[in-house]
Structure formats: structure tokens, C-alpha cells
């Protein structure tokens, strides 16, 4: 029930924000322009489920830089570093740390009788 009320309130706020602003009786809309600027990061590390991953990103104007990582099931850390600079597009570099470890396949599915 609380989530429905929250959705209605957010919807009304969006409608109020989206209405055109009247300046001196005209129907012209007024928009303030500003360059995008933000910085965030988050991470998840849960040993019981073996989840370990995260993301960080910063943007100022058209320049965006960030990275994200995940610990893979084979034991390696996969990291993607990227940047976006205006119209140049998304440029990523993928790297791995550690050495892949796999369980001994001979110990699985063995039908040897003792």
C-alpha cells in the first residue's frame, strides 16, 4: 500500500515539474541549463553467497569516467575501466587479476567402484 502512495506522489510531482512555466504572460517555457556533474560508487560483498562486485563513476559536463568490477567464479577479478568524452563514444579497457582456478574434473562424476 505504501508503495502505491509513493508512486502517486512521485507521479504528481513529475506532472507539476513538467508543466510549462509562464513568463510575463507568454507561453514560452523556461529551462535552466547546466552541465551534468555527479560522482557515485557502490559495492556489494556478501561472503555467504560469494558475491563481490561494484561500480564507480564520475561525470563533469561531457567527460565521464568510471570502472566496475566483479570477482568471477574462477577466482579472478575482472575490472572494466571506461571513459566517455563528448562525441568520441564509450571507450573501455578490460583487465583481469589473479589466476583462474577450476575444480579437479576427475573428482566429479567418477563411477569407479571400490
pLDDT digits (tens, 9 = 90+) for 1-11: 555 655 555 56
Q: What is the pTM of this model?
A: 0.58
Specify if 108 maps to a domain.
no
Alpha carbons 38 and 69: distance in angstroms, whole number: 20
For 89, the domain range is 2-100
Specify if 114 maps to a domain.
no
Specify if 52 maps to a domain.
yes
What is the model's pLDDT at position 43? 96
Specify if 57 maps to a domain.
yes
When the pLDDT of each residue in the chain is averaged and rounded to a whole number, the result is: 78
What is the model's pLDDT at position 82? 97
3-state SS, one letter per residue, for 12-79: HHHHHHHCCCCCCCCCCCCCCCCCCEEEEEEEEEECCCCEEEEEEEEEECCEEEEEEEEECCCCCEEE
What is the model's pLDDT at position 107? 55
Specify if 111 maps to a domain.
no
Spell out, as residue ranges, where the chain has pLDDT lower than 50.
Answer: 114
Specify if 89 maps to a domain.
yes
What is the model's pLDDT at position 46? 93
Specify if 18 maps to a domain.
yes
Alpha carbons 11 and 3: distance in angstroms, whole number: 12
Q: How many domains does the chain have?
A: 1
Amino acid at each position: 500500500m505504501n508503495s502505491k502512495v509513493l508512486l502517486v506522489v512521485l507521479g504528481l510531482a513529475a506532472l507539476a515539474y513538467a508543466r510549462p512555466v509562464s513568463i510575463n504572460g507568454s507561453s514560452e517555457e523556461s529551462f535552466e541549463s547546466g552541465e551534468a556533474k555527479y560522482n557515485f560508487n557502490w559495492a556489494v560483498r556478501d561472503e555467504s553467497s560469494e558475491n563481490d562486485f561494484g561500480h564507480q563513476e564520475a561525470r563533469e559536463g561531457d567527460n565521464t569516467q568510471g570502472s566496475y568490477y566483479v570477482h568471477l567464479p574462477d577466482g579472478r577479478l575482472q575490472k572494466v575501466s571506461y571513459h566517455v568524452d563528448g562525441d568520441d563514444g564509450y571507450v573501455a579497457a578490460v583487465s583481469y587479476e589473479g589466476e583462474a582456478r577450476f575444480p579437479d574434473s576427475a573428482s566429479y562424476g567418477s563411477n569407479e567402484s571400490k
